[in-house]
Amino acid sequence: MKKALPVLMALAVTAAVLTGCAKGSTETTAASAAETTEASSAAEESASVTTAETSEAEETADYYTLKIGSLKGPTSMGLVELMDKSEKGKAKGSYEFTMVTAADELLGKVVSGELDAALVPANMASIIYNKSNHGISVIDINTLGVLYGVSADKSIKTTKDLKGKTIYLTGKGTTPDYVLQHVLKANGLTTDDVTLEYKSESAEVAAILKEKPDAVGLLPQPFALAAVAQNNTLKMVLDLTKEWDAAADENSGSLVTGVTICRNDVLNDHKEAVQTFMAEHKTSAEYANTNAAEVAVLVAAAGIIEKAPIAEMAIPYCSITYIDGDKMKSQLSGYLKVLFDMDPSTVGGTLPDDDFYYLP
């Protein structure tokens, strides 16, 4: 309609001029013809400006730059290929990436609107959802379980073999703690059957394992592999993801480490940009799992793991994935329910409603 208006105006002016011609002299006719030419030129110029403005608006809307945050760890390792393509101008979407070391930084930046999307710990996604009055949705699972039991004790092959052992881990009341307790319970054990020693950092746990070969350290990747690489007496004796799955019922979901969330206002206003990111994120995650050597170089360059050879060894153990839709909802909701039953505060006090899960 906007494009048609200038043409109709030109026709109306022309009709008026022609009417005047029938009544006036030759001089009047010539003058009117000149006016007609001016009117037509003005109309064409107006139409051109309108078209240019429309095209500019459409281009701006289609090329929205998504501001994406992530943590230095496995959740970012499946994203580095897309980061690299974006930096080289080869990505389909437009992105601005921010990588931080603390999950709380991401929480604040999402709630304040500084970030449009973020790769965060699974339980933190639920916390942000509750803190933001349902202002975000989960669009994919990017990392499954990354917790491993590390020890020089080769007799440990299943969770039941942990009975009587001392286990060193980080963060009392954090996700690794609750995951371990859930797996213990599923195998008929309690915290009375083991001794739990909590440390502040993964590096501290790794240092203790050098001194106490009979101890067990619960470490996330890539710290688990780094500990093994630095001490040839240590082995990864337990994969907590496999132990979770072996004990899981139909309501336990999967052991989920990281998910990708997006603010709902961005989902509503820039749906196409978000869906482009989802497609490129999937490709990037798949590339990480099939091209470990190439991605390891990018991981080291991004400062996620210091050395590319260690990054290359770690990638197969980091459970990098891309899961969306109904499968995402099933696996994540079951996992959050397990955490909620142990301590509601781990998921923000209440379990998320169905609108937490983005199902395009």
60-89: pLDDT as tens digits: 435 799 999 999 888 899 999 999 999 999
DSSP β-ladder status, 320-323 and 117-121: unpaired
| CATH number of this structure's domain 64-144+254-356 | 3.40.190.10
**Among candidates 320, 327, 325, which has minimal Cα distance to 278?**
325
Q: Average pLDDT, whole number, for the chain?
A: 84
pLDDT of amino acid 204 = 92
Estimate the share of the chain in helix, then strand, then coil, as percent rounded to the nearest 5.
Answer: 55, 20, 25
Helix axes 271-290, 80-87, angle to 10 degrees: 120
Share of the chain above pLDDT 90, in %: 65
Cα angle vertex 138, ends 133, 141, to 5°?
150
**What average pLDDT score do residues 325-331 get?**
96
Upper half-sphere CA count for residue 36 (Cβ side, 13 Å): 16
| CATH number of this structure's domain 147-247 | 3.40.190.10
**Among candidates 29, 42, 109, which has minimal Cα distance to 69?**
109
Quick: pLDDT tens for 94-117.
999 999 988 888 988 998 999 999
